[in-house]
Structure 1
Amino acid sequence: MNIEVLEEPSQELIDYLRKKISDFNWANWEVSERFPLAIQLKGESGDVVAGATARSFGDWLLLDTLWVSEDLRGLDVGSQILKEIEMAGKARGCRKCFLETLNFQAMPFYEKHGYKVQWVQEGYPRTGCQYFMVKQL
Protein backbone atom coordinates (compact mmCIF):
# COMPACT_ATOMS: atom_id res chain seq x y z
CA MET A 1 0.00 0.00 0.00
CA ASN A 2 1.08 3.54 -0.69
CA ILE A 3 -0.44 6.45 1.25
CA GLU A 4 -0.21 9.73 -0.65
CA VAL A 5 -0.86 13.27 0.54
CA LEU A 6 -2.44 15.20 -2.35
CA GLU A 7 -2.11 18.97 -2.07
CA GLU A 8 -4.46 19.47 -5.02
CA PRO A 9 -6.74 16.42 -5.17
CA SER A 10 -8.91 15.93 -8.23
CA GLN A 11 -12.63 16.64 -7.96
CA GLU A 12 -13.13 13.06 -9.15
CA LEU A 13 -11.32 11.71 -6.05
CA ILE A 14 -13.25 14.05 -3.74
CA ASP A 15 -16.57 12.99 -5.28
CA TYR A 16 -15.59 9.30 -5.11
CA LEU A 17 -14.74 9.45 -1.39
CA ARG A 18 -17.88 11.46 -0.57
CA LYS A 19 -19.98 8.88 -2.43
CA LYS A 20 -18.36 6.03 -0.51
CA ILE A 21 -19.21 7.70 2.83
CA SER A 22 -22.71 8.52 1.61
CA ASP A 23 -23.28 4.90 0.50
CA PHE A 24 -22.11 3.65 3.90
CA ASN A 25 -24.32 6.14 5.75
CA TRP A 26 -27.43 5.27 3.74
CA ALA A 27 -26.84 1.54 4.32
CA ASN A 28 -26.67 2.09 8.08
CA TRP A 29 -28.90 5.08 8.81
CA GLU A 30 -32.40 4.72 10.24
CA VAL A 31 -33.96 6.80 7.45
CA SER A 32 -33.68 5.82 3.83
CA GLU A 33 -34.56 9.06 2.08
CA ARG A 34 -33.73 12.75 2.08
CA PHE A 35 -35.91 15.18 0.19
CA PRO A 36 -34.58 18.51 -1.09
CA LEU A 37 -36.61 21.66 -0.57
CA ALA A 38 -36.11 25.22 -1.76
CA ILE A 39 -37.79 28.62 -1.72
CA GLN A 40 -37.05 31.34 -4.24
CA LEU A 41 -38.09 34.93 -4.66
CA LYS A 42 -37.58 36.48 -8.08
CA GLY A 43 -37.37 40.18 -8.82
CA GLU A 44 -39.04 42.01 -11.68
CA SER A 45 -36.20 41.06 -14.04
CA GLY A 46 -36.67 37.36 -13.24
CA ASP A 47 -33.44 37.07 -11.26
CA VAL A 48 -33.47 35.28 -7.92
CA VAL A 49 -33.21 37.98 -5.21
CA ALA A 50 -33.73 35.78 -2.15
CA GLY A 51 -34.18 32.15 -1.27
CA ALA A 52 -33.43 29.18 0.91
CA THR A 53 -32.48 25.53 0.51
CA ALA A 54 -33.09 22.67 2.92
CA ARG A 55 -33.43 18.92 3.18
CA SER A 56 -36.01 16.93 5.10
CA PHE A 57 -35.35 13.50 6.58
CA GLY A 58 -36.95 11.71 9.49
CA ASP A 59 -38.12 14.30 12.02
CA TRP A 60 -35.65 16.93 10.79
CA LEU A 61 -35.50 19.84 8.44
CA LEU A 62 -31.88 20.77 7.75
CA LEU A 63 -31.70 24.41 6.63
CA ASP A 64 -28.64 24.62 4.38
CA THR A 65 -28.88 28.21 3.15
CA LEU A 66 -31.01 31.31 3.51
CA TRP A 67 -29.93 34.30 1.44
CA VAL A 68 -31.49 37.71 0.81
CA SER A 69 -29.98 40.26 -1.58
CA GLU A 70 -28.54 43.40 0.01
CA ASP A 71 -31.32 45.69 -1.22
CA LEU A 72 -34.04 43.54 0.37
CA ARG A 73 -32.41 43.07 3.78
CA GLY A 74 -34.29 44.68 6.65
CA LEU A 75 -37.63 44.40 4.81
CA ASP A 76 -38.79 41.18 6.55
CA VAL A 77 -38.09 39.09 3.42
CA GLY A 78 -35.78 36.71 5.30
CA SER A 79 -38.39 36.21 8.01
CA GLN A 80 -41.03 35.39 5.40
CA ILE A 81 -38.75 32.92 3.62
CA LEU A 82 -37.81 31.26 6.92
CA LYS A 83 -41.47 30.94 7.88
CA GLU A 84 -42.35 29.41 4.49
CA ILE A 85 -39.57 26.84 4.52
CA GLU A 86 -40.40 25.86 8.12
CA MET A 87 -44.06 25.41 7.17
CA ALA A 88 -43.05 23.29 4.16
CA GLY A 89 -40.90 21.17 6.48
CA LYS A 90 -43.77 20.75 8.93
CA ALA A 91 -46.02 19.68 6.05
CA ARG A 92 -43.49 16.93 5.36
CA GLY A 93 -43.65 15.78 9.00
CA CYS A 94 -40.54 17.54 10.29
CA ARG A 95 -40.69 18.38 13.98
CA LYS A 96 -37.30 20.08 14.36
CA CYS A 97 -35.04 22.31 12.27
CA PHE A 98 -31.24 22.41 12.40
CA LEU A 99 -28.90 25.02 10.91
CA GLU A 100 -25.36 26.36 11.12
CA THR A 101 -24.44 30.04 11.00
CA LEU A 102 -21.22 32.00 11.47
CA ASN A 103 -20.59 34.87 13.88
CA PHE A 104 -20.78 37.47 11.07
CA GLN A 105 -23.92 35.99 9.57
CA ALA A 106 -27.37 35.70 11.15
CA MET A 107 -27.30 34.19 14.65
CA PRO A 108 -29.41 37.04 16.18
CA PHE A 109 -31.89 36.73 13.30
CA TYR A 110 -32.39 33.01 13.99
CA GLU A 111 -32.62 33.57 17.75
CA LYS A 112 -35.38 36.12 17.08
CA HIS A 113 -37.24 33.32 15.28
CA GLY A 114 -36.98 30.82 18.12
CA TYR A 115 -33.75 29.01 17.31
CA LYS A 116 -31.53 28.04 20.23
CA VAL A 117 -27.76 27.63 20.10
CA GLN A 118 -26.94 24.00 20.85
CA TRP A 119 -23.22 24.22 20.34
CA VAL A 120 -20.61 26.86 19.53
CA GLN A 121 -17.38 26.08 17.73
CA GLU A 122 -15.09 28.87 18.86
CA GLY A 123 -11.93 29.80 16.99
CA TYR A 124 -13.56 28.97 13.65
CA PRO A 125 -11.82 29.21 11.29
CA ARG A 126 -9.36 31.22 13.37
CA THR A 127 -10.94 33.94 15.51
CA GLY A 128 -14.64 33.60 14.61
CA CYS A 129 -17.40 31.29 15.81
CA GLN A 130 -19.75 28.82 14.19
CA TYR A 131 -23.17 28.35 15.81
CA PHE A 132 -25.20 25.16 15.55
CA MET A 133 -28.83 26.00 16.18
CA VAL A 134 -32.08 24.05 16.60
CA LYS A 135 -35.76 24.93 16.74
CA GLN A 136 -38.83 22.85 17.52
CA LEU A 137 -41.23 23.39 14.61
Structure 2
Amino acid sequence: MTMEFTRDDSNEFADAVKQKIAEFNWQHWEVSERLPLGLKLENEQGELIAGLSARTFGNWMMLDNFWVSDQLRGQQIGSQLLAEAERIAKERGCIYAILDTLNFQAKPFYESRGYQLQWTQQAYPKTGCKYFMTKALSSVQTNN
Protein backbone atom coordinates (compact mmCIF):
# COMPACT_ATOMS: atom_id res chain seq x y z
CA MET A 1 0.00 0.00 0.00
CA THR A 2 1.38 3.37 -1.03
CA MET A 3 0.58 6.39 1.08
CA GLU A 4 0.74 9.93 -0.13
CA PHE A 5 0.83 12.75 2.39
CA THR A 6 -0.96 15.95 1.53
CA ARG A 7 0.33 19.24 2.84
CA ASP A 8 -2.20 21.42 4.67
CA ASP A 9 -0.90 24.47 6.54
CA SER A 10 -4.36 25.89 7.29
CA ASN A 11 -5.61 26.84 10.73
CA GLU A 12 -8.66 24.64 10.13
CA PHE A 13 -6.48 21.58 9.66
CA ALA A 14 -4.39 22.40 12.75
CA ASP A 15 -7.62 22.75 14.76
CA ALA A 16 -8.88 19.40 13.42
CA VAL A 17 -5.69 17.63 14.55
CA LYS A 18 -5.91 19.37 17.93
CA GLN A 19 -9.50 18.14 18.28
CA LYS A 20 -8.47 14.55 17.47
CA ILE A 21 -5.77 14.69 20.17
CA ALA A 22 -8.29 16.10 22.66
CA GLU A 23 -10.73 13.28 21.86
CA PHE A 24 -7.99 10.70 22.48
CA ASN A 25 -6.84 12.40 25.68
CA TRP A 26 -10.35 12.53 27.15
CA GLN A 27 -10.52 8.74 26.88
CA HIS A 28 -7.42 8.37 29.06
CA TRP A 29 -7.27 11.41 31.35
CA GLU A 30 -8.52 11.30 34.89
CA VAL A 31 -9.97 14.77 34.34
CA SER A 32 -13.32 15.01 32.62
CA GLU A 33 -13.56 18.78 32.31
CA ARG A 34 -11.38 21.53 30.89
CA LEU A 35 -12.82 24.99 31.41
CA PRO A 36 -11.77 28.16 29.62
CA LEU A 37 -10.87 31.16 31.77
CA GLY A 38 -10.82 34.57 30.13
CA LEU A 39 -10.54 38.04 31.62
CA LYS A 40 -10.47 41.32 29.74
CA LEU A 41 -10.27 45.03 30.37
CA GLU A 42 -11.69 47.42 27.79
CA ASN A 43 -11.55 51.19 27.57
CA GLU A 44 -14.59 53.47 27.21
CA GLN A 45 -14.62 52.86 23.43
CA GLY A 46 -14.79 49.09 23.93
CA GLU A 47 -11.20 48.51 22.79
CA LEU A 48 -9.23 45.74 24.46
CA ILE A 49 -6.49 47.21 26.66
CA ALA A 50 -5.59 44.13 28.74
CA GLY A 51 -6.50 40.48 28.58
CA LEU A 52 -5.73 37.02 29.82
CA SER A 53 -6.77 33.62 28.50
CA ALA A 54 -6.18 30.39 30.38
CA ARG A 55 -7.80 27.04 31.04
CA THR A 56 -8.35 25.04 34.17
CA PHE A 57 -8.39 21.27 34.49
CA GLY A 58 -7.81 19.01 37.46
CA ASN A 59 -5.26 20.60 39.77
CA TRP A 60 -3.97 23.03 37.15
CA MET A 61 -4.51 26.43 35.61
CA MET A 62 -2.63 26.78 32.34
CA LEU A 63 -2.02 30.39 31.36
CA ASP A 64 -2.09 30.57 27.56
CA ASN A 65 -2.02 34.28 26.73
CA PHE A 66 -1.55 37.41 28.82
CA TRP A 67 -1.28 40.94 27.45
CA VAL A 68 -1.40 44.47 28.87
CA SER A 69 -1.21 47.51 26.59
CA ASP A 70 1.93 49.62 26.79
CA GLN A 71 -0.05 52.56 28.25
CA LEU A 72 -1.14 50.47 31.26
CA ARG A 73 2.12 48.74 32.11
CA GLY A 74 3.58 49.63 35.48
CA GLN A 75 0.15 50.45 36.95
CA GLN A 76 -0.50 47.07 38.61
CA ILE A 77 -3.15 46.13 36.00
CA GLY A 78 -1.24 42.96 35.09
CA SER A 79 -0.83 42.01 38.74
CA GLN A 80 -4.54 42.46 39.37
CA LEU A 81 -5.48 40.51 36.25
CA LEU A 82 -3.20 37.60 37.15
CA ALA A 83 -4.38 37.59 40.77
CA GLU A 84 -8.01 37.43 39.62
CA ALA A 85 -7.26 34.51 37.28
CA GLU A 86 -5.50 32.68 40.12
CA ARG A 87 -8.46 33.37 42.44
CA ILE A 88 -10.90 31.89 39.91
CA ALA A 89 -8.60 28.90 39.35
CA LYS A 90 -8.46 28.22 43.11
CA GLU A 91 -12.24 28.56 43.27
CA ARG A 92 -12.38 25.83 40.60
CA GLY A 93 -10.14 23.59 42.71
CA CYS A 94 -6.77 24.29 41.08
CA ILE A 95 -3.70 24.16 43.31
CA TYR A 96 -1.03 24.87 40.66
CA ALA A 97 -0.49 27.22 37.74
CA ILE A 98 1.75 26.70 34.73
CA LEU A 99 2.86 29.08 31.98
CA ASP A 100 5.61 29.77 29.53
CA THR A 101 7.21 33.07 28.60
CA LEU A 102 9.96 34.14 26.22
CA ASN A 103 13.24 35.71 27.31
CA PHE A 104 12.15 39.20 26.20
CA GLN A 105 8.74 38.95 27.84
CA ALA A 106 7.77 38.73 31.50
CA LYS A 107 9.96 36.30 33.48
CA PRO A 108 10.79 38.87 36.23
CA PHE A 109 7.09 39.82 36.46
CA TYR A 110 6.08 36.21 37.07
CA GLU A 111 8.95 35.54 39.48
CA SER A 112 7.92 38.52 41.60
CA ARG A 113 4.46 36.96 41.83
CA GLY A 114 5.64 33.58 43.09
CA TYR A 115 6.25 31.66 39.87
CA GLN A 116 9.34 29.46 39.78
CA LEU A 117 11.39 28.49 36.77
CA GLN A 118 11.11 24.77 36.07
CA TRP A 119 12.82 24.45 32.72
CA THR A 120 14.45 26.59 30.03
CA GLN A 121 14.24 25.76 26.34
CA GLN A 122 17.46 27.13 24.89
CA ALA A 123 17.94 28.33 21.29
CA TYR A 124 14.25 29.20 20.99
CA PRO A 125 13.31 30.10 18.36
CA LYS A 126 16.94 30.68 17.32
CA THR A 127 19.04 32.65 19.79
CA GLY A 128 16.51 33.34 22.53
CA CYS A 129 14.94 31.02 25.08
CA LYS A 130 11.57 30.04 26.48
CA TYR A 131 10.93 29.68 30.21
CA PHE A 132 8.45 27.21 31.67
CA MET A 133 7.25 28.31 35.10
CA THR A 134 4.90 27.00 37.79
CA LYS A 135 3.35 28.30 40.98
CA ALA A 136 1.62 26.61 43.90
CA LEU A 137 -1.69 28.44 44.22
CA SER A 138 -2.47 26.97 47.62
CA SER A 139 -1.20 24.35 49.99
CA VAL A 140 -1.48 20.83 48.70
CA GLN A 141 -3.92 18.95 50.88
CA THR A 142 -3.40 15.28 51.55
CA ASN A 143 -5.76 12.78 53.11
CA ASN A 144 -3.99 11.18 56.06
Residues 62-101 of structure 1: pairs in structure 2 closer than 5 A: 62-101=62-101
Residues 1-137 of structure 1: pairs in structure 2 closer than 5 A: 1-4=2-5, 6=7, 8-137=8-137
Q: Give the C-alpha shift of residue 77 in structure 1.
A: 0.7
Q: Give the C-alpha shift of residue 14 in structure 1.
A: 2.6
Q: Give the C-alpha shift of residue 12 in structure 1.
A: 4.0
* Partner AA of 1:117 in structure 2: L
Q: Give the C-alpha shift of residue 21 in structure 1.
A: 1.3
Change (3 A) 1:45 1:18: same
Q: Give the C-alpha shift of residue 16 in structure 1.
A: 2.6
Q: Give the C-alpha shift of residue 100 in structure 1.
A: 0.6
Cα distance in 2 for residues equivalent to 1:27 and 1:62: 20
How high is the sequence identity, in percent, across the aligned residues? 51
* Partner AA of 1:2 in structure 2: M
Q: Give the C-alpha shift of residue 15 in structure 1.
A: 2.8
Cα distance in 2 for residues equivalent to 1:18 and 1:96: 24
Cα distance in 1 for residues equivalent to 2:88 and 2:55: 11
Gaps of 5+ in 1: none
Using structure 2 for the length normalisation, give the TM-score: 0.88
Cα distance in 1 for residues equivalent to 2:10 and 2:48: 31
Using structure 1 for the length normalisation, give the TM-score: 0.93
Q: Please, which moves more after superposition, 52-61 or 40-49?
A: 40-49
Total equivalences in the alignment:
136
Gaps of 5+ in 2: 138-144
Cα distance in 1 for residues equivalent to 2:75 and 2:134: 24
Q: Give the C-alpha shift of residue 5 in structure 1.
A: 5.8
